[in-house]
Structure formats: C-alpha cells, structure tokens
Structure 1
Amino acid sequence: MNFDAHCDIWTDVTHHYLRGESDIFRKYHYERLKKGDIEGGIFVIWNDPPFDKDPLKRTRQMMEAIAQEEPLCADILTIARSYRDIQTAKKEGRMYTLIGLEGLKSIGEDLALIEEFYQFGARHAGLTWNEANPLATGIKGDPKRGLTDVGRQAVKKIQDLGILLDVSHLNDASFWDLLGVANGPVVASHSNCRALCDQKRNLTDAQLKELAKTGGVVGLNSFNEFVHDIESQQTLENLVKHLDHMVEVMGIDHVGFGFDFAEFLCGDTLSSFSSQSTPYTIGLEDASQVPGVIEEMRRIGFHPDEIEKIAYKNWHRVIEEVIG
C-alpha cells in the first residue's frame, strides 16, 4: 500500500461542490486511488489560481466543501486528525487523508487563523505556494527575501500545535531561514532533486541532507517539469532516479511519495504552474499507475523492506511523531 503526501483532490471537490454536486470523492477519485493501491495521503487546501484573489474566501469555500464531503464519504474515507485515526481507518478498510494547507497566504498576518484551521482538522502546512506573502517567500518571489518575523512566529505556532511543517515551494532563502528556527521533523511533501533537474522547486543535496537531519521526509513528485529538462525524458524511469538519488543522499528512512497528480485540475488552474500540454510523467499519468513506480523500484534493486519504508512507513513514522 502507498501513502501520497501531496494531492489536490480538495481543489477538484470544491469545483464540483460549487456546481451543486455532492459525494464527489466517491464519484471522481476513489476508484482511481484504489487501483493505484493508495491507502491514504495528504489532500491540501490550496488557493488555486484564478481563485486566489481573495485567498481567505477561497480557503473557507474549500472548508465548506470538505465539511459537506466528510459525512457522505465516511464509509470509504476517514479525515484523520490523529495517528490513531489512521490506524483505525486501515484496520477497518477505509482510505484516510490528512487535511493539508498548501501555503498560508490566506491568513495574512493573523496567526490565530492557524489555530482555527487546526481545529477544523488541518494537520499539515507550508508557509507559501510560489508567491511571496507576509510570512515567507516562494520560488517566484525575490530570491533574497526569506522568512519575516511573523513567518518565524508562524513556524513556532505550527510546530507547537503538532502540524507537519512543509518546506515545498519555499525559495532557498526562506528554506534556510525556516530550518534555522524549526525544531523536530521538517518535511518537503512534494519535491525532487535539483542535482538531476535544475528547477528552483527541486531541492539541492545540501537541503536534502538538512531535512534528513531533522528526521523529516521528502516526497517524490511526479510533476513532469521537475523530472527532466527535456520533455521526452520526463519518464517513470527518470523519476525513480530522483528517488534513488534521495536515498543515496538522505538515507532510506527519509524518502517517500508526494506525487502531486494534477491531471484532474481545470485548465486555468493547471496553466498557472504548468508550461507543457500535460502535467504528468510519461508512464505515471495518474494515481492508478503508482504500482508501476513500485515495479521500477524492484527492477533497479530496492528490497521489499526498503520499498515498504518509502511507500508508507517513513511518512507514518513522522506523522506519529509530529501529530500524535
């Protein structure tokens, strides 16, 4: 079974919710995840363009959609607020998800909103998406601008509440500022290796090593532009080379999956971050094809116990430690 630490399913759920639909996860996502042996993951609240002009309004819309979905799909999906919830869901044969916050643009400087989101169920958070905001700077912001004083306070609040702290999307200055003030495990839920594909969203070997020192995990990202600079080389085989490199740099206990599948996103949203006609790695078009990743890992020599760690155990360890 596999744990996917980054998925935008709540974005799609919200699109359908605003059209008056319900029981959306079951209709549009469940069977695909089941076919891919995805037992659980992190579904994020994201202020998706072009709906990011009023980020707090969009966040609340997504929370409304999640609140509608939770009881309707409770027989097949548990929204986990503790590690015990995950264990119970697994035992009873249900998928499970943690609610994530992909960026905190929505809060401005109001740190009290982090606690409100926690009470709603959020157990994961990053400070930014690609933008600069009052807390920190994403990869499209000023490369010299890092965390703000409010951002440092946000890091402490996130960790004090027991929320997974995520560095994905931060620029290098913000990454190092965050590592300078954080305590305990820090994760990159969906990032690859800059040594293999020179994209700002990918992590350097030095960054990978520092995340491992915190006890954190990095999730392998299937978004094609983070796999290889040449489109024809954005293949499953080359994606798994990123995973292999992470293991070499960080050790087997600090690598997992964070696939960031986006094939179901609408055109305007997708085009805000994708410059190619499709967002997926060749051979890994959606979550149903995740078993192919496991097969490729076996082919290049990963042992069954190593595959289990990467597939779900490493994420479970960090979740249990941070969230409790």
Structure 2
Amino acid sequence: MNFFDLHCDTLYKAVTEKSELDNPLYEVKLNNDSEFHKLQCYAIWLPDELDGNEAEKLFFKSAEYLKSECNRLGIELFGIGEFLDNAFSKHRNSAFFTVENGKALNGKIENVKRFAELGVRIMTLTWNDNNEIGSGVLSKDKCGLTDFGKLAISEMEKYGIVIDISHAGDELFYDVVNQTNKPFIATHSDSRTITQNPRNLTDEQIKIIISRGGIIGLNLHNAFLNNNPDKACTEDILRHCEYMLSLGCENFLCFGTDFDGCDLPKDIVGSDSIGGIYELFLKNNYNESILKKIFYENAYKFFENFDNQRIM
C-alpha cells in the first residue's frame, strides 16, 4: 500500500535531540524498510517561546539536516515543482520539507522566497499563539491576519508554498479565506463537531476548504479524536472520517498524523500502526478505491495540481 502523511514532528525531535531520522525509537522512521511506500511531510516546528532570530536559525539548521539525512538514507526529497510521478513507483520512500509556525520567517518577507528555494512545500501560518503573521488558536489577541501576514501569504502563493491553517484561530482562518486566491489546506486537524476542541475544524470551515480545492489531514492526537482523550482509540478515526465524508470530503480527506508531536491513542504506536488502521477501514466496509484516496491519492493529486498552477 501507499501512504501520504501531511504532518509529523519527527524532524524537530531529531534536530533538537541531535539524533537521526531513522532512530528506531521514533514514531516515524525515515528509511526504505517499511511495509508500505510513503511520502512523508517533515515539519520543522518552531515553538512559540523562541524569538524570531532563534526560530529563523533553527529553520535553516533543519533544512540542511533534512537534506543530509535524505542523502544518507537514499530518500527522495521533493522540492517545489518537482514531478511526483515516481514518488510511489521506485519502491523507495520520499519526503517533503514543511514548516510549522510562520515565526520562522522572522518578520522578513524575503524569507518566503528563500524558503521556497530550499524546497519548503507547506507553511503552517501560526502555532498556538500570535506571531508576525497573525493569531493562533489559543492566542488572547484575536487579531486575525496582520499586515505582514497579508503580504506573507501573497508571497507564499506567488512562490508556490502551500498555506496551512491548522493551528490558526478562527479569525485568522476567515482572513485567509478573504485574502487568498489559491487552495489552502489543514494538514493536521479533525472535526470540531465530533470532538469539541478549538484546534479542530467547524463544518463551515471544512466546507470552505474543500470548496477551494484544499485538503484536510486527519490528526491522530487523542485530544482531537475524542472528548475524553484517555478513551481515544482507532475507532475514533473512523468516526471523524465518516462524518467528514458526509460533508463531501471524499476527494479531499487525507492523513496528517502528527506522529512524534502528540499524545496518541493507546492502540496506535506510530507509522507501524498505519497498516492496522487500513485494515480497520476495510473491516468497516470501506472499499479500496476510497481508501486509496484517503491514504495517498487525494494528497498526491493536490500537490500535482497545485504545482501546475504556480507562477514561480
């Protein structure tokens, strides 16, 4: 089987722990030994506690580290506009470089182009607090997009970096809707109707994202899957999936696991559990064609189409 994961925090973990991306203790292992072929988005998380200079420095350090690790392990690292035709056909795994928290820009608009040149495919605009771009989901100042943020997302669209609204506050979400022309995505968010967590998406937000041609990655964090995190399990993934499919997400639903960055349900251990999740879907009468869409085709087609539209 094939698997396209829109989000994990393994890169941050490896860089800050001075480890390797194929560390067997990590929930995601960057190697070619897994039972399925995957395209893994590796996010460098920039904690809100970092100042702009620290965040920018960590970003560039991580960019060099990911490139080095991919070369060492024989993993294909896809940059902007590079054809994905062979991503699942060479019997090797592939990677995208992504950014979680626009604080990495350090308030420098020229960094958007620099990030694109380094192959950044996705940027999550905020983490939970405010940054130069706008207000995160837990920020007290519900400012939405700042003037710098409006300029930043315009540059992101220009240079082909996909805008990610996971972690955005609702005010920021609707400002992005009004300020963008291209599809934007939610890499790792679930349904707020099913689990009443502000990090999840409302029905209206889900419908807006898919109406614009964006995609949504199912997050496996226990607190997003179940209102009682201690009781979260793989069946909760089905609940969120079924509900989002009822809203019209068949061609837009994906996975954004958040591996190595969240508390998982007790019956999920990391990427080694993906095969079991696939089997659970089959046992619940999901046909292969829909599962192929959710597990990799929807994300694959999104990036293929997005790159064809870029003007860089």
TM beyond 0.5: yes
One-letter amino acid of the counterpart of residue 26, structure 1: D
CA distance in 2, matches of 1:168, 1:322: 19
What is the RMSD of the two structures over their aligned residues, measured on CA atoms? 2.1
Sort the Cα spacing of 1:52 and 1:289 in 2 relative to 1 into closer, same or farther, 3 A.
farther
CA distance in 2, matches of 1:215, 1:303: 23
CA distance in 2, matches of 1:32, 1:49: 30
- Residue of 252, 255, 258 corresponding to 1:257: 255
Sort the Cα spacing of 1:109 and 1:47 in 2 relative to 1 into closer, same or farther, 3 A.
same
CA-CA distance at 1:138 after TM superposition: 0.7
For residues 259-290 of structure 1, give each alpha carbon's deviation from its aligned partner in whole angstroms, at most 9, with x where no partner exists.
1112xx6xxxxxxxx6xxxx002322211001
CA-CA distance at 1:36 after TM superposition: 5.8
2:16 is the counterpart of 1:15: yes
Q: 1:8, 1:43 within 8 Å by CA — same for their partners in 2?
A: yes
Sort the Cα spacing of 1:51 and 1:287 in 2 relative to 1 into closer, same or farther, 3 A.
farther
Provide the secondary structure at the position in 1 that maps to 2:41.
strand
2:155 is the counterpart of 1:157: yes
CA distance in 2, matches of 1:203, 1:295: 26
CA-CA distance at 1:58 after TM superposition: 1.7
Q: 2:3, 2:38 within 8 Å by CA — same for their partners in 1?
A: yes
Provide the secondary structure at the position in 2 that maps to 1:93.
coil
Provide the secondary structure at the position in 2 that maps to 1:86.
coil
Give the ranges of 4+ consecutive aligned residues of structure 1 lying more than 4 Å apart after TM superposition: 31-34, 49-53, 82-85
CA distance in 2, matches of 1:281, 1:36: 22
Provide the secondary structure at the position in 1 that maps to 2:22.
helix
Q: State TM-score, norm by structure 1.
A: 0.87
Sort the Cα spacing of 1:49 and 1:107 in 2 relative to 1 into closer, same or farther, 3 A.
closer
CA distance in 2, matches of 1:36, 1:239: 21
Q: 1:36, 1:290 within 8 Å by CA — same for their partners in 2?
A: no
Q: 2:102, 2:132 within 8 Å by CA — same for their partners in 1?
A: no
Within a 5 Å distance, the mapping from 1:187-226 to structure 2 comes to: 187-226=185-224
Within a 5 Å distance, the mapping from 1:84-95 to structure 2 comes to: 84-95=82-93
Sort the Cα spacing of 1:299 and 1:285 in 2 relative to 1 into closer, same or farther, 3 A.
same
Quote the residue 2:45 is aligned against: 46
CA distance in 2, matches of 1:27, 1:235: 25
Quote the residue 1:281 is aligned against: 265
One-letter amino acid of the counterpart of residue 276, structure 2: G
One-letter amino acid of the counterpart of residue 13, structure 2: D
One-letter amino acid of the counterpart of residue 289, structure 2: D
Q: 2:130, 2:141 within 8 Å by CA — same for their partners in 1?
A: no
CA distance in 1, matches of 2:148, 2:265: 37
Sort the Cα spacing of 1:25 and 1:144 in 2 relative to 1 into closer, same or farther, 3 A.
closer
Q: How many residues align?
A: 303
CA distance in 2, matches of 1:148, 1:49: 17
Quote the residue 1:319 is aligned against: 303
Quote the residue 1:268 is aligned against: none
Note the residue ranges of structure 1 that are not aligned, 5 or more in a row. 266-273
CA-CA distance at 1:12 after TM superposition: 2.4
CA-CA distance at 1:32 after TM superposition: 8.2
Within a 5 Å distance, the mapping from 1:224-263 to structure 2 comes to: 224-262=222-260
One-letter amino acid of the counterpart of residue 119, structure 2: G
Q: State TM-score, norm by structure 2.
A: 0.90
- Residue of 284, 297, 310 corresponding to 1:300: 284
Higher helix residue share: 1
Quote the residue 1:26 is aligned against: 22
CA distance in 2, matches of 1:58, 1:322: 27
Sort the Cα spacing of 1:34 and 1:170 in 2 relative to 1 into closer, same or farther, 3 A.
farther
Within a 5 Å distance, the mapping from 1:96-175 to structure 2 comes to: 96-142=94-140, 144-175=142-173
CA distance in 2, matches of 1:3, 1:303: 18
